[in-house]
Structure 1
Amino acid sequence: MQGRIHLARHAEGLHNLRNDPTIPNAPLSERGFDFAEGLGHRFIREYSNSVGAIISSPLRRAIQTSLTAFHRILDSTQYPKNSGSGVNNGVMLALDANLQEIADLPSNNGSTPNDLIIEFPELKSEIEKLHEDWHVKTGHRSPLPQSLRQRKAEILQRLQKTLSDLQNEPMGDDIVVVTHQGVIALLAPTANIPVGHWQTFRLVRENGLLSLE
């Protein structure tokens, strides 16, 4: 049987705390970092050796959640030197622009790849894989799918490919997906995942279509 999909919602963002969607590319609040650390402790108790891939939205609060929550799983090369975080030969954090929040608000609009590299230099190799306009949500410059249906299909196709790739790897075969409420509603409409929590699914194919259940 293929691995599971752990759909995680980022921890509390500053825009959540202040109820202010005008904060550009909103980071985690101070309490949000604590929530992310708690997420990691709870998660690792249940799935300590099962994760083979972690894929995150490139928005700041999702990256911060991933690095804070999963430092017991992620590879040490993706942490600042001498931080004491990460593990040798751990899982590499991957970024996927399709996982960014859907609504076109300042808090949901990402940074350019160059700005992300300045903020997260240890993720440079992953950030460089992003389209230079990954953060542009609408208009002719946007590289995002033209419909939410297509976006959902692309996310699920990537998850299917990742699950297939993990079957040939010696590590775990579960995938953690760190994303936002809008994307969670797109992928799993009946899910109710608070900030800093996750829910576990299986990827299934019915009548030729992929879905989470």
Structure 2
Amino acid sequence: MTGPTRLTDRKRSAILVAAAEQFRVHGYETASMDGIAALAGVSKRTVYNHFASKEALFGETVMTMFESSAGQLELGYQSERSLREQLLELMALKIRTLADPDFLALARVAIGEAIHAPERTLPVIARLGEREEGVTTWIRAAQADGRLKAGDPSFAATVLQGQIKTFAFWPQIAMGAAPLNAAEQARVIDAAVSMFLSYFAQD
């Protein structure tokens, strides 16, 4: 009973790996289901058995790449630890996710498609936003503990992560900037966390 399931899972994984490669190299429009099937070593029918359309496959490919890069991004709030210590750790994981070269390459494709075909890509971007809920959850818990000011936790999370993305995501996506080195990452994280706490932390 378990053998067929494992084989199906392996085929699905192979399709996602092949799709990521095809979308990164060729872009959404040029990438073909035939090419993805050939690279994955499966039939085109098998691809469609797993994914109803190229649009569905593209969305799942972006999500899988993000989740693979994210790793242990969702750290739970710990009341016994300092806010600064926890936020530094959380943002270090965040910046590591955003720096993954494969994810960046696929994100460029997704953002390009959002400009040309928003009806196809905006649902994917919305799903990516949902995967950032871990930071919002952490902030909500800190607010409930009385250590951060009350307010919209989603807004606070956007302010915090936006500072990271300004240096460690958008320049790499839009202008082909080099990834930040370790010292630059530490500087950005320290500044973002310091500014966040200066405004949102309870006195």
* TM-score exceeds 0.5: no
Query: Does 1 or 2 have the higher relative contact order (CA < 8 Å, sep 6+)?
Result: 1
Bigger share in helix: 2
TM-score when normalising by structure 1: 0.28
Bigger radius of gyration among the two:
2
